[in-house]
Amino acid sequence: MAALLGRSCRKLGFLSSGHGARRTVSTETGKSLNLYAAINQALHIALDSDPRSYVFGEDVGFGGVFRCTTGLAERFGKNRVFNTPLCEQGIVGFGIGLAAMGNRAIVEIQFADYIYPAFDQIVNEAAKFRYRSGNQFNCGGLTIRAPYGAVGHGGHYHSQSPEAFFCHVPGIKVVIPRSPREAKGLLLSCIRDPNPVVFFEPKWLYRQAVEEVPEHDYTIPLSEAEVIREGNDITLVGWGAQLTIMEQACLEAEKEGISCELIDLKTLLPWDKETVEASVKKTGRLLISHEAPITGGFGAEISATILERCFLKLEAPVSRVCGLDTPFPLVFEPFYMPTKNKILDAIKTTVNY
Amino acid sequence: MAVWFARSRNLVSSLRHNLCLSTILVKGDYSHHRPIVSTCQLSPTVFLSPYVSSLRHESTAVEKQPDLVQHSDEEDVLQELDFPGGNVGCTSEMKFIPESSSRRIPCYRVLDEDGRIIPNSDYFPVSEKLAVRMYEQMATLQVMDHFFYEAQRQGRISFYITSLGEEAINIASAAALSPEDIVLPQYREPGVLLWRGFTPEEFANQCFGNKADTGKGRQMPVHYGSNRHNYLTISSPIATQLPQAAGVGYSLKMEKKNACAVTFIGDGGTSEGDFHAGLNFAAVMEAPVVFLCRNNGWAISTHTSEQFRSDGIVVKGQAYGIRSIRVDGNDALAVYSAVRSAREMAVTEQRPVLIEAMTYRVGHHSTSDDSAKYRAADEIQHWKTSRNPVNRFKKWVDDNGWWSEEDESELRSNTRKQLLQAIQAAEKCDKQPLKELFNDVYDVKPKNLEEQELGLKELVERQPQDYPPGFHV
């Protein structure tokens, strides 16, 4: 993964990671961009390619609190790129209305921690809009973007990973990119996908991750997981910023002779069971890691599914290395997080089971 | 009125000092016999009184708003302050805006209880053809409601919601709109769909959830929707349609369509957060949306006195910067005029408008409710009979010589026949095929649903006795 944190690991005392073996998706070169710049590029392309697309949310007009919407209002006008009142249920409801009329509504929720007022609109309205109407209506043009995840100092309300709530809702899609190049392609897919999508962006990577991002319009398919590191002894599954940590753990495990296969799920709903299943049938071991609290986290769904499909191939119980079952703490963040060493320990335990 | 204010200025200022009243506002009163001085808020409304009736068609414009707090003494306004949000005068007098006006916002009406036009009323004239159609549809809605209610009682459909008592709101509002206006209903507005051409058969199909139901049997009865009729599919959660209506209106605005979004809500629904969200967004985005609140007094068993402490809903409009009117919802002509005006304002001025239609929910909340448990039988009876909007409009249509008792019995008997046939046909109609359980969750069926569909098919074939019959694979 060229999107290396390199010098800028989390403030948790990690070593700089080297370059591990990785399978490249594309050998195309592009410009060196960070995550927010890549997302910004995707938004420019989206608005340019469809005159009936809109970007709105709190503070997006001046470029957004994370600069993802820089330059959009100037280029496409305030009728298409605008600030909204501070009201998430209004933002998403308004977006559903726009999408119901055939527009692409690319909505920003300022932090995933604040998405809950819109939960009713997302779950009861957006997710069911097509189904309940007998396909007479749909709001497929709706894409909801929100920064998620730990940032080192975010505490309860600037660090959450709420993906599990949304993975339980038939009718929407949930997508989480791991890097700038992935984010641009996935976001464009989400915007053009004829279903409402929730797109969680790992805020930790907005500046920290830098990668070559092709400048043209390209998409990365949804519901296709990617094996980003091949191995034989154990399969690791993750998404978003956590993959960087998992990759570091894989590198260290390799030094001890454990060959790890690392999979980026990318789309959590509907998720690519086949790729994970094929990998676990090869390795016989599965470890899932996510920042969100372990109980009821999406790792539980992956674990249960793989158990059903791969039971006789498993050499060890499925391992989950996740956040603790607490609100996301401030000073205790280093203890709460699923760290590289926690993952490494779990890899070894699983392999030695 | 301006002249009268000037005359009273000194009176008010001396009263304020002599009586030490903290808030004295001068209210406009058309019976200009005596000044009314009160401690209450000036009602910022369009007064359609005999005094201003000569301005018949100009009264659809907003009356210039008198100050909320009347500064009758210039020396009180010490200076203007330039806070973000615009200049605002300041005062050294500590005045609280009262929580309510001494007088509630009056209700716009055209027809009296006997179906006669009140002299000097403002209203859009309604032709014989339109009036007869409106009456026919109001009566049809009544008959339809009775038939479907009974069908539920007989166990033939699982659920039903009547609109009894609200026929004028349903039909007159629909009549005032254009077919291109996009309707986002709550659930007590089937008359709007009826007006637009949804047939008794289509209503019945949805209630039975049969193969012909365009909703594909996915939702409870009365959750109608029709893209052909620009009527978005009903969902049970309350008020969710309001911010969506703002988005719909904004889309129409951007496309420069000669149309607006029209969305309905009950008195109870205005307590939801989405009411606030919807109105605020529509106002800020300057979206052409007509918000029509059916204040029928009851949210299931919760009376409006337990719902809010404001003077109903109309006063909330100004809080969002939205032009508002309170109308007699049981007066078809008033509803027609108000909605027509509101729609024109919304489209030509690209702004939202709020209408509060006062009415009464004659029926139970739904077939799952028995309103006798929480309301007086004579109250219900009163509104069912002497305050019935259908009878009231009928009288007017009758008096004009446009309707007869023969017409009445013919309409009622034809409609009954039609509904009976529609219900019987819908009941006999095939069920939805099982595959419709799995379609339309997404645009394309994902793998997990393909697997679940295969699994279910196999299960149904193996153990058909576990499942209701008639759902062909």
- B236: annotated active-site residue: yes
Give the sheet arrangement for strand B261-266, strand by strand: B182-184, B261-266, B289-295, B353-358, B323-328
pLDDT over threshold 80, residue A33: yes
Residue A16, classified by CB atoms within 10 Å of its CB into exposed (0-12), middle (13-18) or buried (19+), is exposed
Residue B40 has pLDDT above 80, yes or no: no
Instruction: Report which secondary-structure segment, H or E, holds A345.
Output: helix A340-351
What is the tens place of the pLDDT at every residue in B149-169?
999 999 999 999 999 999 999
**Confidence bin at B469 (pLDDT 50/70/90):** very high
Q: Report chain B residues whose CB lies below 8 A from the CB of A117.
A: 273
pLDDT above 80 for B145: yes
In A266-339, which ranges are continuous DSSP H helix?
Answer: 273-283, 298-310, 333-336
Parallel, antiparallel or unpaired: strands A260-264 and A226-229: antiparallel
Q: Report residue B17's pLDDT band, with 50, 70 and 90 as the boundaries.
A: very low
Structure token pair of residue A198 = 């929730």
* pLDDT reported for residue A27: 58
Residues of B within 8 A of A134 (CB-CB) are: 213-216, 218, 225, 233, 440
Q: Which of B219, B247, B248 sits opposite A132 (nearest CB)?
A: B219
Cα-based distances in Å from B358 to A121, B320, B352, B389: 28, 21, 19, 12
User: What would the pLDDT profile of B102-141 be if each residue is shown by its tens digit?
Assistant: 999 999 999 999 999 999 999 999 999 999 999 999 999 9
Contacts of A77 in chain B (CB under 8 A): none
Please give the structure tokens belonging to residue A56.
């709105």
Q: What is the pLDDT of residue B55?
A: 37
Closest chain A residue to the Cα of B221, Cα to Cα: A132
Mean pLDDT of A322-331: 98
- Out of B236, B368, B386, B409, pick the active-site residue: B236
* Cα four-point dihedral sign A104, A106, A112, A118: negative
Could you read off the pLDDT of B194-208 as tens digits, one per residue? Answer: 999 999 999 999 999
For residue B26, name the pLDDT band (cuts at 50, 70, 90): very low
Cα angle B205, B206, B209; round to 5: 85
Distance CA B360, CA B330 (A): 8
Q: What percent of chain A has pLDDT over 70?
A: 92
H or E segment at A143?
strand A142-148
**For the stretch B428-441, what's the b/e string if a residue is b when 16 or more beta carbons lie within 10 angstroms of its beta carbon?**
ebebbebebbbbbb
Tokens of B198: 């949804």
Q: Are the beta carbons of A267 and A251 closer than 8 angstroms?
A: no
Whether the pLDDT of residue A81 is over 60: the answer is: yes
- A134, B225: Cβ pair inside 8 Å? yes
Please tell me whether residue A139 adopts helix, strand or coil conformation. coil
pLDDT band at B473; cut points 50, 70, 90: confident
pLDDT above 70 for B66: no
Nearest CA in chain A to B279: A90
Judge whether A170 and A223 are in contact, CB under 8 Å: no
Residue B62 pLDDT grade (very low, low, confident, very high; cuts 50, 70, 90): low
Residue B262 φ then ψ, to 5°: -125, 125
Chain A: give the shortest CA distance to residue B225, in Å: 6
Q: What is the pLDDT of residues B256-312, one digit of tens each?
A: 999 999 999 999 999 999 999 999 999 999 999 999 999 999 999 999 999 999 999
In the set B150, B410, B450, B458, the catalytic residue is: B150
**Across residues B245-249, what is the average pLDDT?**
98
CB A274 within 8 A of CB A303: no
Output the pLDDT for position B61.
55
pLDDT at B20: 41
What is the gyration radius of the CA atoms in chain A, in angstroms? Answer: 20
Which residues in B lie closer than 8 A to residue A102 (C-beta atoms)? 251
DSSP symbols for B197-260: T--HHHHHHHHHTBTT-TTTT-S-TT---BGGGTBPPP-SSTTTHHHHHHHHHHHHHHTT-S--
CB contact under 8 A, A89 and B261: no
- Give the span between the Cα atoms of A149 and B457, in whole angstroms: 41
Residue B36 confidence (pLDDT): 34
Tens of pLDDT, residue by residue over A127-174, are 999 999 999 999 999 999 999 999 999 999 999 999 999 999 999 999
What are the backbone angles phi and psi of residue A228, rounded to the nearest 5°? -95, -5
> Is B365 a known active-site residue?
yes
pLDDT of residue B54: 39
Model pLDDT for residues A213-238, shown as the tens digit of each residue? 999 999 999 999 999 999 999 999 99
When pLDDT is cut at 50, 70 and 90, the band that residue A9 belongs to is very low
Q: Give B271 to chain A, closest Cα distance, Å.
A: 14
Q: Does A61 touch chain B (CB under 8 A)?
A: no
Q: How far is B231 from chain A (nearest CA, A)?
A: 10
* Residue type for position A133: S
A124 at interface of B, judged by CB pairs closer than 8 A: yes
Is B361's pLDDT higher than 90? Answer: yes
Q: Which of A343, A245, A183, A225 is nearest to A20 (CA)?
A: A245
Per the CB < 8 A criterion, the answer to whether B113 and B372 are in contact is no
Is the CB of residue B226 less than 8 Å away from at least one CB of chain A?
Answer: yes
Phi and psi for B346 in degrees, rounded to 5?
A: -60, -45
